Amino acid sequence: MTRHIPESVSKLKQLSSLDLSSNKLSGAVPRSLASLSFLGFLNLSNNNFSGRIPYTDHMTTFDAPFFAGNIGLCGIPLDVKCPGDDVDPEKGLSTSKSSRSGDTSTDKWFYLSVGLGFAAGILVPYLVIAMKSSWSVAYFDAVEKVVDRILFLWLKYRTRQQRNQRR
């Protein structure tokens, strides 16, 4: 008797955890698993799955250990390449490596820009204060006006709430 995961598993939209490890399941990993956006934990290790892992959408959040022990599985995130991954016949490029390096390069640029933005947000006010005392006074005056305006609006809101509660 061979058992597999049915494509209809995607109908379980609120599914948050799925551990099917060591169940002697076989066949392909259903593409429909990628549509389960609430799935926070997935373990398909130590079965008899075969074919390419549908590494798209939400499935990209699961690493190799969640698919380990399935001799027939291939593709990202595993180190086992699927047939045809080596060379793209039209371009002569490695498809799996080029898609991986594009993702990591984008991630690196994203984190670099976030870090630089954070550093600039911290350093710019400090440099403004340190350059000239007149700039420091102007900066703190602007900050004080913003804080005063926020407090004024908050107090106005609270006063309206209290009036409405009394009625």
How many domains would you assign to the chain? Answer: 2
The residues that bridge with 74 in the sheet, in sequence order, are 52
Q: Are residues 138 and 76 in the same domain?
A: no
The reply to whether 51 falls in a domain is: yes
Tell me the pLDDT tens digit for each residue of 18-34. Answer: 999 999 999 999 999 88
SS (H, E, C) the chain: CCECCCHHHHHCCCCCEEECCCCCEEECCCHHHHHCCCCCEEECCCCEEEEECCCCHHHHHCCHHHCCCCCEEECCCCCCCCCCCCCCCCCCCCHHHHHHHHHHHHHHHHHHHHHHHHHHHHHHHHHHHHHCHHHHHHHHHHHHHHHHHHHHHHHHHHHHHHHHHHC
pLDDT value of position 18: 93
pLDDT value of position 100: 46
pLDDT value of position 124: 85
Residue in 78, 68, 18 with CA at minimum distance from that of residue 48: 68
pLDDT value of position 87: 56
The reply to whether 27 falls in a domain is: yes
Tell me the pLDDT tens digit for each residue of 130-147. Answer: 888 888 888 889 999 999
The reply to whether 95 falls in a domain is: no
pLDDT value of position 47: 94
pLDDT > 60? residue 102: no
Tell me the pLDDT tens digit for each residue of 40-99. Answer: 999 999 999 999 999 888 888 899 999 999 999 999 999 888 887 765 555 544 444 444
Q: Are residues 17 and 77 in the same domain?
A: yes
Instruction: Kindly report the pTM of this predicted structure.
Output: 0.50
Residues spanned by the domain of 154: 132-167
Q: Are residues 12 and 74 in the same domain?
A: yes
